[in-house]
Amino acid sequence: MKYLVTIEFLEAAIPSISQQGVVEHLERVLIPTQDAMVKLEAEKKILAGGYPVGQRKRVFIIEAASNEELGQLLRSLPGWWMTRVDVTPLESFEHQAAQTRQHVERVKAAMQGKR
């Protein structure tokens, strides 16, 4: 199953301290998170995505066998507890097209029954 995921760092979680504190935060949290995302992309778990220009969030499509697997993948990211995560399950184009065709056939059958 494919999911559209948006992860946004919470402002309160980003240190508003010295430059040294910011560097430590980047080295301890952000860089390992980026490395984990690169690894998931190499493993074909992340199918596409990136950073919206100028924003502190990432948007990607991830493939997971279940909601539970997705939850585990997201919680494995360093610093996940410092983020707001929005997840949207995606229905395939193929499945949606088949559903639309079935709906059209049902409506046509109902229309013929009224004649």
Domains of the chain: 2-113 (3.30.70.1060)
Strands 83-90 and 57-63: unpaired
- Chain-centroid distance of CA 35 in Å reads 16
Residue 18's pLDDT is 75
The token duo for 8 is: 């946004």
In whole angstroms, give the CA distance from residue 81 to residue 13: 9
For each successive 10 residues of the chain (115 residues), what is the average pLDDT? 93 67 82 93 96 92 96 92 93 92 92 78
Residue 14's pLDDT is 61
